[in-house]
Structure 1
Amino acid sequence: MISIICSSGSVFAATPSPSEADLFTKRLELYQNMETVLQVPWYYLAAADQYEHNLRLTRKDREKAKGVIGIYIEPSKWVGALNPNPADVKPLSISLFGGIGLDGDGDGRADINSDVDRLYTFANYLLNYGTDEENIRIGLWNYYKRDKAVGIIIGNARIYKTFGTLDLQEKAFPLPIGSHYTYRSTWGSARGWGGRRIHEGTDVFASYGVPVRSTCYGIIEMKGWNKYGGWRIGIRDLNNNYHYFAHLNGFANDLKVGQVVKPAQIIGSVGSTGYGPPGTSGKFPPHLHFGLYKDNGITEWSFDPYPYLRIWERNDKLERKN
């Protein structure tokens, strides 16, 4: 496996190692077993769990998951806020104190450290609202109290449902390897147009019309015009990362917000749009502005995409040779 971890805590993996493949298999089995028992579609459980795994990588207030399931439930919420025993595992007393912790594996204990108990409890929480997307959304909002969290999880679910697997960490360089392009690290450089601000991305210079490709398995969150970025597209991947493509010359046919995409899928072409009202073009040489942003469940920030672009480029070149 080729992977990289940056200071933001974001992790990209080019291909899963055997241990990761086993992990995906174990998780999927748990999700599907839970779907059989409670009728909550497995891809919603997988989507929420993946969201929680990402939070554990970026938040200091979340410890790393001890098992294969990342779902986090506050201990006081598990046992009940007034429960005198914060480590209570007895389903009856937990229920009496208004806790949500449940016994999912039938061992007579509602153990917050048990993958099955925690996943069963979370799935049962969603089941109280329903099993269709509209009611799942309501359940997720009441659980997280954050619209963006709901949107990310629903997006994850659509990705998992589309491809039917959890093994979706493959990435691609945003331009075809056979095309002519140049780029260097430009993240953090000063920008002049539109006021004092830093450059939150890497510029990949290429000719007009060179295809621009999705860098990940993801879902299109945004498509349209921005006075700075011109025609641009934003894609959210399964690691809570937002991939931003700007200054496009145009979009691929029938591309729309909410659409699921895969690595190397053409989404548009290189242009020089932006720095003005809709349609403004030609104020700078044609290039793709590519940015990466990380969401940690509270806020979102940009981080340097250059190291990831180098890795994705190298992997694409190796694949092209084979």
Structure 2
Amino acid sequence: MRSYVQFGKKSIRCLVCTVMISFLCTISGFGAVAAEAPGTPDSTHSKSVYELRRSLYEEIGILTQVPWYWLAAVDQYERTITPRSKVAKKDKERLVGLQFKDEVWAGALNPNPGDMNPATISLFGGLGRDATADGNADPGNDRDALFTMASYLLGFGFDDEDFRIALWRYYQNDSSVSRIRQFAKIYKTFNQIDLSASAFPLPVKSIYTFRDTWGDRRGWGGLRTHEGTDLFASYGVPVRSVCYGIVETKGWNPYGGWRIGIRDLSNRYHYYAHLQGYEKNIEIGDVVKPGQGVGWVGSSGYGPPGTQGRFPPHLHYGIYRDTGSTEWAFNPYPLLRQWEKEEWVRIKKGKK
């Protein structure tokens, strides 16, 4: 469950910068060319939604000096924890995924929870800002929403540690802060927004077999159900990242043996277990891309560190979704079949 707080204590330089930003917005008509922020990809036919988002992140970043990849990370995190079913139809067409509670935007004591007047919002300690010089601080306007978040972050300082503190004060959740920092590192490393490509976890030209084993009974360590898909292959077959992401866990697990966990930008945790070993120099915190080797198929697990051979060699692949308050497993089999098919299509087209 999300939790929010108001601004913390500002340093003098942050206060001066914030005042200058507000002044520039007022006198220069920042964003006046698009007082109604482009909320859909259709607003610019020649650009993709990713290009439009990147332009907006950079636009607000230049104005506030908050790096674009931090803005992208917060925006993407909000997008992953807000169920599509709970997003209003008009908001589904927006570029930005930021969602503010009324009391956060307008101020906890504001008698008008839907207030969009910058003056009264400020009076009641709300965060809402007007970035388009149209006289309204509209949480449904992409520029206003993103500028408001950037201004909030700026209120705590200019470096990564300041942003970490600001995010913890905003969400009051260590996991939220960790996810956003991970996302920021991924965006910064690859310097692009469209990181939706995927790969099959094993080379499709290798010899392997798999079926839907989701929910099968497992007995070691107590009766339980199988949360994943087993891909059977020979020892030493390369195991690859299926996504752009960051290594979150690595090491021994009594059930999974030598395992590695990778977090992607959809806030999904990809779990690779029973490995024979790891790719050289891959460590927690490393950023990876689709098809990059992370280890090899093995038969480790079901015992203390080093236990091997209690079952045929295979890769256990699981996937978990983080909603911001809970993390739950879902059946990866349909995605595996999809990735396998897509990879064969790429190979046939000569795109390896």
Global fold match (TM > 0.5): yes
* Stretch moving more, 132-141 or 292-301: 132-141
Give the counterpart letter for 2:276 in structure 1: N
Separation (CA, whole Å) in 2 of partners of 1:195 and 1:62: 40
Equivalent position to 1:152, from 179, 188, 201:
179
Question: Counterparts of 1:1-322 in structure 2 under 5 Å?
Answer: 22-57=48-83, 62-63=87-88, 64-322=91-349
Give the counterpart letter for 1:41 in structure 2: P
SS of corresponding position for 1:118: helix
Separation (CA, whole Å) in 2 of partners of 1:65 and 1:49: 14
Paired position in structure 1 for 2:21: none
| Preserved contact between residue 219 and residue 235 of structure 1 (Cα < 8 Å) | yes
| Preserved contact between residue 55 and residue 62 of structure 1 (Cα < 8 Å) | no
Give the counterpart letter for 2:173 in structure 1: R
SS of corresponding position for 1:234: strand
Separation (CA, whole Å) in 1 of partners of 2:160 and 2:125: 27
Paired position in structure 2 for 1:4: none
| 1:194-231 CA distance string (max 9 Å, x none) | 11111110000000000000000000000000000000
Separation (CA, whole Å) in 1 of partners of 2:109 and 2:190: 44
Structure 2 unaligned blocks of 5 or more: 1-43
Displacement after TM superposition at 1:57 (Å): 3.2
Displacement after TM superposition at 1:22 (Å): 1.1
Q: 1:164/1:199 Cα in 2 relative to 1: closer, same or farther (>3 Å)?
A: same
Moved over 6 A (4+): 18-21
SS of corresponding position for 1:311: helix
Displacement after TM superposition at 1:250 (Å): 0.1
Q: 1:171/1:136 Cα in 2 relative to 1: closer, same or farther (>3 Å)?
A: same
SS of corresponding position for 2:157: coil
Separation (CA, whole Å) in 2 of partners of 1:112 and 1:65: 14
| Preserved contact between residue 107 and residue 126 of structure 2 (Cα < 8 Å) | yes
Separation (CA, whole Å) in 1 of partners of 2:46 and 2:165: 32
Paired position in structure 1 for 2:14: none
Separation (CA, whole Å) in 1 of partners of 2:164 and 2:343: 37
Give the counterpart letter for 1:25 in structure 2: E
Separation (CA, whole Å) in 1 of partners of 2:306 and 2:158: 43
Displacement after TM superposition at 1:56 (Å): 2.2
| Preserved contact between residue 273 and residue 282 of structure 1 (Cα < 8 Å) | yes
Separation (CA, whole Å) in 2 of partners of 1:219 and 1:153: 12
The sequence identity of aligned pairs, in percent, is 55
Separation (CA, whole Å) in 2 of partners of 1:169 and 1:57: 19
Q: 1:116/1:314 Cα in 2 relative to 1: closer, same or farther (>3 Å)?
A: same
Separation (CA, whole Å) in 2 of partners of 1:70 and 1:234: 26
What is the TM-score normalised by the length of structure 2?
Answer: 0.84
Q: 1:113/1:218 Cα in 2 relative to 1: closer, same or farther (>3 Å)?
A: same
Give the counterpart letter for 1:276 in structure 2: G
Displacement after TM superposition at 1:237 (Å): 0.4
Aligned-residue Cα RMSD (Å) equals: 1.5
> Rg bigger for which structure?
2
* Stretch moving more, 81-90 or 180-189: 81-90
Q: 1:296/1:206 Cα in 2 relative to 1: closer, same or farther (>3 Å)?
A: same
| Preserved contact between residue 318 and residue 329 of structure 2 (Cα < 8 Å) | yes
Displacement after TM superposition at 1:131 (Å): 2.5
Separation (CA, whole Å) in 2 of partners of 1:81 and 1:56: 22
Displacement after TM superposition at 1:240 (Å): 0.5
